[in-house]
Structure 1
Amino acid sequence: MMAQIQQEDKLNLGAKKFSMWIFILTSFMLFAAFTSGFIVYSGGRGHGLNVILPQAFKYSTAVIILSSITLLMASKAAKGLQFGKQRLYLWLTFFLGIAFFAIQIYAWYVLTYKMQVYFTNPNASRSFIYVFSGMHLLHVLAALLVLLSTIKGSYSNIPQVRNLFKMDMTSIFWHFLDIVWICLYVFLLLNQY
């Protein structure tokens, strides 16, 4: 009976992980479509961004990289059955995620009020800054909710298999968003002019 329950549980977790990979693939395709849209719009017309990106994007990139490091440390702690450290690093990751979110909003403030780069403007290429960072922020918001669920699970008396599964799912999603932001940021840097 117990073996049957464990087998059903294993299949259920496998289905959830597969769903996560489908979501990541879909998100990748969404960002690829936006990137392609930018390339098609700006290609050959001289319609690059023609704006220097706010320094806040550089700082937010450093913060999200640091958050991936703290999440790696949380995963390592979970595997080593060091649940206090796991919680500490999960909370650090969460607060770094909040900091990333806040810095991105500040970058929008700088773009809009200091640099006069509005979402709607004659050069639609500039709108892509908001599209890229806005869609990424929506994904970060979802990842923060997933992270909160993992934090909650770390305080619950759940089996270690489930704890590690939650850590794995959260890590896959979080690191994917880290990579997406770095790629988007580099792409925007290369297309500033």
Structure 2
Amino acid sequence: MAKVEKLRIEEAPETLSMDPKKFILWGFIVTIIMLFASQTSAYLVRRAEGNWVEFEVPQIFWTSSVVLIISSIAMHWAYLAAKKDNFNTLKIAISITFVLGLAFLWMQVEGWKDLVAQNIYFVGNPSGSFFYVFTLLHGVHLVTGLIVLCVTFISAMRLKVHAKNLRRIEICTTYWHFLDILWLYLFAFLLYFR
């Protein structure tokens, strides 16, 4: 009888489980995707109605895109360093990612100044309004990414991020890469549908 119960226990199917914090992250990412999908849809509908001013996208947005890509590479470097318990490299790579994230935000502000110089304002023609809204919304999410980076950096300083505890760095890396991909999508969308 005990042998039969033992077989039943061993044959029980494995339950699928996910780390609750990673689940929250993915829920948040899906929410952000839905937000930007609705905004890009609204953009296309409004653009089709006419009265749309076309303008040159400031060059600094190209540069900021490259900066964000490099920051994603630095973030991946941090993740690889954590997997190898290379704590100094981990801290350096997270710091580089943070500084590049700040540089990206600064470049976005400079890009807005260039738009103002072209007489493209937040209030005015919808083409400019949408451009500001997209870049501002992404900027807000990037600020949340910088906060996650700070929390991960503090955890790394306290040696809570290491090869046997990668959850924080995995969450941070996933979110940072997502923000990079989101920006590249938005930038390509705004370039193509000017």
TM-score when scaled to structure 1?
A: 0.88
Task: State the partner residue of 1:6.
Answer: none
Who wins on radius of gyration, i.e. which is larger?
2
Note if 1:82 corresponds to 2:90. no
Q: Give the corresponding residue for 1:101.
A: 105
Q: Is the 8 A contact 2:75 2:97 kept in 1?
A: yes
Out of 110, 119, 123, the residue aligned to residue 122 of structure 2 is 119
Write the distance in 1 (CA, Å) between the matches of 2:159 and 2:54.
Answer: 54
Q: Structure 1: 5+ residue runs without aligned partners?
A: 1-10
Of the three residues 183, 186, 190, the one matched with 2:185 is 183
- The Cα shift of 1:160 comes to 3.0
Contact conserved, 1:153 with 1:163, CA < 8 A, in 2? no
Equivalent in the alignment of 1:32: 37
Count of residue pairs brought into register by the alignment: 178
CA apart distance, 1:191 = 1.8
Give the alignment partner of residue 66 of structure 1, picking from 55, 67, 70: 70
Counterpart-to-counterpart distance in 1, 2:99 and 2:165: 20
**For the residues of structure 1 that align with 2:162 and 2:146, how far apart are their CA atoms?**
22
Flag the 1:95–1:76 CA change in 2: closer, same or farther, 3 A: same
Which protein has the bigger helix share? 1
Q: CA deviation at 1:45?
A: 2.2
User: In structure 2, what is the Cα distance between the partners aligned to 1:159 and 1:60?
Assistant: 29
**Equivalent residue for 1:51?**
55
Supply the distance in 2 between the matched residues of 1:162 and 1:40 (Cα, whole angstroms): 49
Whole-Å separation in 1 of the counterparts to 2:182 and 2:59: 19
Structure 1 residue 162 displacement after superposition: 7.1
% identical equivalent positions: 37
1:125 positional shift: 1.9
2: CA distance, partners of 1:158 / 1:181: 30
Note the C-alpha offset of 1:158: 2.2
- By relative contact order (CA 8 Å, sep 6+), the higher-ranking structure is 1
Instruction: State the match for 1:165 in structure 2.
Output: 167
1:159–1:138 Cα change, 3 Å: closer
Residue 23 in structure 1 maps to residue 23 in structure 2: no
Q: Which amino acid is 1:111 matched to?
A: L
Deviating above 6 A after TM superposition, structure 1's stretches of 4 or more consecutive aligned residues are none
- TM-score, length-normalised on structure 2? 0.87
Deviation at 1:173, TM superposition (A): 0.7
